[in-house]
Amino acid sequence: MISITRSVAWRIAIGYGALFGLSVLMLLAFIYWSTAGYTTRQMEAVIEAEVQGLAEHYRVGGLPALRRLLSRRVRSNPASASIYLLADPQFRLLAGNLDAWPAAARTQDGWIEFGLRIEDEGPHLEVHRARARLFTLRGGFHLLVGRNWRDLDEMRIAIGRAVAWCVAVTLALAVAVAWWMRGRVARRIEAINRTSRRIMQGKLEERIESDGSGDEFDELVAGLNAMLARIEGLMEDVRRVSDNVAHDLRTPLGRLRTRLVQLRAKAGDEDAKALAGAALDEADQMLATFNALLRIARIEAGDRRHAFAPVDLAAIGKDVAELYAPLAEARNIDFRYLQTPAPLHADADLLFQSLANLLDNAMKYTPEGGSVSLEVTADDERVDAIVADSGPGVPVDEREAVLRRFYRVESARSTPGSGLGLCLVAAVVQLHEARLELADNDPGLRVRIRFERRT
């Protein structure tokens, strides 16, 4: 399971959701700023115009006329949001609807903000924000004209609440759309991965399904399917060539071996028999190498000519151990076999060949007096086959290379062999969807084949 931080589908979905949410948030913030800011500017313009009108009225009619006008306005609409205050040069109140001159500091442009106490219908007072413009009249008189900002604040709160709800709904929609996008992308990718896994198991005829949408994924699927068809054709060609080579060369090699056997039987002296025997050994080695190569190629190509069936790996290991026990005794090697019942669904012949190859290598490279062990363990989740020896081992940086065809570590080049044993084991492990692990046995090599139980 891919984590969220590594999932491309999740990153696309989260990125899309974040971009969508941020865009809507910026749009709503602009609407809020425009609406609230425009209303504020309009109210300030009204106050400025009213100040200019009252100042002109004072210039024409003097202080008595201004006081009468302010008193008339206050009496005609006591609940108005407008604020008027006229004071002498010592800030003693002359007219207006405030009880005292506000103590708020005045800004450079003549505006002040202060708390305005308003009697509520209940027994308590409410404090609202008020904003006013100060103006000094001729003669040193002070005029204050402002507005109760309660309506504007309530409007801002309402707009802010609406914006918050819009942001919440937008983010919820963004998450839902992102989740849908992630699911759609993940399903298409999983379809490709699922088919790829089946192909790696040897089912080269498998193809990736297309949903017919004609999008970029469909184009990718079409390209991959064309590539898979080409690979399948090439693999079929290789398999056909391999079969032809097997048919054309096995017969002459078999005849060569037969004639070498006859030559050794008819040789007149010991030197000729020795030469014929050496040539016969070389022919046997060529046949064994040739057969191993063909078998590896067929296994890697997914050739399941040997049917998979329920088997007991412990019983297979016991047969292999009995086969190699005399060799261990002859070389004075301490050989141990440990087992627990290990049922599997597998190819018994291929498992036997794999364990035999591992034990053959262990016996071959373990010096006399050393130790070799074969252990089969099982639990509810996995089955393990472990072969360990006390030989020279394999360097860490060469443990992947030894699984390739004909590769041999430097210390093993003087030992007879073709370098195909571990390669065949790796092919069988891959066919069974198992895992091959090479580790240090301190000293020697420890090889583990791990089969995961599948329900």
Q: What is the mean pLDDT of residues 34-60?
A: 81
Bridge partners, residue 339, by sequence: 376
| Beta carbons within 8 Å of 23's beta carbon, 6+ residues apart | none
pLDDT in tens, 136-158: 888 888 888 888 877 777 777 88
Counting every residue written for the chain, the total comes to 455
The tokens for 379 are 């639990």
pLDDT bin (cut points 50, 70, 90) of residue 405 is low
Residue 387 has pLDDT above 50, yes or no: yes
pLDDT of 301-318, one tens digit each? 555 555 678 888 889 889
Q: For residue 295, what pLDDT band results from cuts at 50, 70 and 90?
A: low
297 neighbors 335 (Cβ within 8 angstroms): no
| Tokens encoding 401 | 């290379």
Three-state DSSP class for residue 334:
strand
Phi and psi at 86, nearest 5°, equal -120, 130
Cβ neighbourhood burial of 157 (10 Å; 0-12, 13-18, 19+): exposed
Per-residue confidence (pLDDT) for residue 171, from 0 to 100: 76
Helices 216-266, 150-200: crossing angle, 10 deg rounding: 20
Which pLDDT tens digit goes with each residue over 228-251?
888 878 877 766 776 666 666 767
Residue whose tokens read 């491309």: 8
How large a percentage of the chain has pLDDT more than 90? 3
Percentage of the residues of the chain whose pLDDT score is greater than 70:
84
What mean pLDDT is predicted for residues 64-77?
83
CA distances from 27 to 20, 166, 371 (A): 11, 11, 77
pLDDT of 426: 82
Judge residue 431's burial from the number of C-beta atoms within 10 Å of its C-beta, 0-12 exposed, 13-18 middle, 19 or more buried.
Answer: buried
pLDDT per position as a tens digit, 329-372: 888 989 999 888 888 888 887 888 888 888 888 888 888 888 99
- What lies within 8 Å, CB to CB, of 405 at 6+ separation is 293, 296, 419, 420, 423
Residue for token digits 């010096």?
A: 367
φ, ψ at 115 (rounded to 5°): -85, 135
Rounded-to-integer distance, Cα 356 and Cα 305, Å? 20
User: Higher confidence at residue 288 or residue 254?
Assistant: 254
Q: List, for residues 102-134, the tens digit of each pLDDT value.
A: 877 777 777 888 777 765 555 556 677 788 888
Neighbours of 162 (CB within 10 A): 13
Contact 151, 127 (CB under 8 A): no
Neighbours of 168 (CB within 10 A): 10
Q: What is the pTM of this model?
A: 0.47
DSSP 205: T
Q: 80-95: string of b/e by CB count within 10 Å (b at 16+)? A: ebbbbbbbeeeeeebb
pLDDT at 39: 76
Which domains does the chain carry? 8-100+132-157 (no CATH), 216-300 (1.10.287.130), 309-452 (3.30.565.10)
Residue bearing tokens 């090479």: 438
Say if CB 146 and CB 110 are below 8 A apart: no
Interior angle at CA 71, CA 69 and CA 73, nearest 5: 70
- Amino acid found at 91: F
Q: Is 140 left (phi over 0), alpha (psi -120 to 50) or beta?
A: left
Q: What pLDDT shows up at residue 455?
A: 52
The DSSP code for 105 is P
pLDDT for 50 equals 82
Q: Are 32 and 120 in contact (CB under 8 A)?
A: no
CB atoms within 10 A of CB 15: 11
Look at the alpha carbons of 300, 302, 306, 312 in this order and tell me if their dihedral is positive or negative.
positive
